[in-house]
Amino acid sequence: MQKITPCLWFDDQAEQAAEFYTAIFKNSKILNIARYGEAGYETHGKASGTVMTVAFELDGQKFTALNGGPIFKFNEAISFQVTCETQAEVDYFWEKLSENGDEKAQQCGWLKDKFGASWQIIPRVLMEMMIDSEHEKSQRVFSTMLQMKKIDIAELERAYAG
């Protein structure tokens, strides 16, 4: 059983967000939907029958999406890191997650999706190059990455090789 489940606070787009995310990631699904009832209306202000929470799974990782109202917004202090094996995988997740997202937020593999959530689309090889004990190699890779929005593995490999 997964002990920690991220809960994403939405104004009223929890179901749409869960559908969007589960359509992008393989082995993903919506697990269940809970709806607001009449109880607590004076606190939550949501009409009876509207979606309260959506439990969903992205490639084995469970999440909860909550329709909590417009009080809180996402920011870059929290992001979801997607580790990719190939450039095709980087390209896929970048394209799908950034669709109708915030163009200004894209830097060094980071993007904001159309709901305002931050994602890092990172090739596994980047992390391996960044921790290389040969400082000059890792610094060339870091400098090259700083100039990118979507990560280009071939360009990083050229920088790594010198």
Q: What does pTM read for this prediction? A: 0.91
Tens of pLDDT along 111-148?
999 999 999 999 999 999 999 899 999 999 999 999 99
Average pLDDT (96-103) is: 90
CB 154 within 8 A of CB 132: no
Tens of pLDDT along 43-71?
888 999 999 999 999 999 999 999 999 99
Of the listed ranges 9-13, 32-36, 70-74, 104-108, the one predicted with least confidence: 104-108
Domain boundaries, the chain: 7-67, 79-161
In the predicted structure, residue 106 carries a pLDDT above the cut 90: no
Sign of CA dihedral 46, 48, 50, 51: positive
In the predicted structure, residue 105 carries a pLDDT above the cut 80: no
Of the listed ranges 24-33, 58-67, 94-103, the one predicted with least confidence: 94-103
Alpha-carbon span 90 to 83, nearest angstrom:
8
Alpha-carbon span 156 to 116, nearest angstrom:
28
Alpha-carbon span 155 to 160, nearest angstrom:
9
Tokens of 105: 């937020």
Q: What is the CATH number of domain 79-161?
A: 3.10.180.10
Q: Give the pLDDT band of residue 26 (cuts 50, 70, 90).
A: very high
The DSSP secondary-structure symbol of 39 reads: T
Tokens of 25: 């990631």
Q: Which of 55, 48, 49, 67 is nearest to 21 (CA)?
A: 55
CATH topology of domain 7-67: 3.30.720
